[in-house]
Amino acid sequence: MADLDQLPGGSDFNRPNVARMYDYYLGGKNHFPADRAAADKVIELSKGHVREAVLENRAFLARAVRHLARERGIRRFLDLGAGLPTQGNVHEIALETAPDALVAYVDNDRVVASHGRALLAGDPRVRFLEADLRRPADIVALVEREAFPLDRPVGVLMVACLHFVPDEEDPAGIVARYRDLLPPGSHIVISHVSSDPVPGAMAAAGGVYNHANAPFEARRREEIARFFEGLDMVEPGLVPLNEWRPDPDAPPLRGAFLPVLGGVGVCS
């Protein structure tokens, strides 16, 4: 495990970081007091249910990656806004199913990227790149240069990251540019916090994230559905995470108090 204290300087560790807060929700070790204080406030506002949402999101990611590797033959995975590597990483799931898979993680936080590279060093099948998911053309060029050629379908993961892209930056347009740049047959996996059932709780949580390194914006279902325009939806479509192809042998998920929707679309 890399030591966070030995990472490059220049970052404000007194400001909450959404990647480190997520690591804290998952029970990881890569966070600072400011991250823990902010995360504890979100946990309090959600009456503890944010951790349920985070665990459901992680389970959805695992099911989606397994489905893409087993059922769809995907061998290239691009995890955008990846955050810190923690348990149940994309490369662990993909490589367990398909040892010939290649995985590229992308995050725009320099410290997160540096820590990710330290944690993942030694496996030539995995890369951790520093770049901003809001620049699709730059990321595609970087992936081809540093990770793998985009000469076959890719599984692109935008899991729990687009709610940190504000409306004025056109998140639906960003997804559409990836759709147009990816090879046909590529799959785009998205999960996003919904504001529909409990907008008050979402607004309160968003207030905490406004003091972190990235704002938070829950969206209505119809807004999240726009991200999949121009894509062919994989059944069962855009649904609460616990309803997306649940594992028949796993304990049933009851659905998080903080609602998160997810789906998978295919580029034609």
- Mean pLDDT calculated for residue range 41-59: 83
Mean pLDDT over 101-118 rounds to 87
Q: Is the pLDDT of residue 8 over 80?
A: no
Using left for φ > 0, alpha for ψ between -120 and 50, and beta otherwise, residue 48 falls in: left
| 16 neighbors 38 (Cβ within 8 angstroms) | yes
For residue 11, what pLDDT is reported? 53
Whole-model pTM? Answer: 0.87
- pLDDT tens digits, one per residue of 160-177: 999 989 999 999 999 999
Q: Give pLDDT tens digits for 197-244.
A: 655 555 666 678 777 777 788 899 999 999 999 999 999 999 999 899
pLDDT score for 93: 95
Q: For residue 129, which of 91, 90, 223, 139 has the smallest C-alpha distance?
A: 139
Quick one: how far is CA 128 from the chain centroid?
A: 14
Give the distance, in angstroms, between the CA of residue 99 and the centroid of all CA atoms in the same chain: 22
| C-beta of residue 187 within 8 angstroms of C-beta of residue 266 | yes
Q: Is 2 exposed, middle or buried (0-12, 13-18, 19+ CB in 10 A)?
A: middle
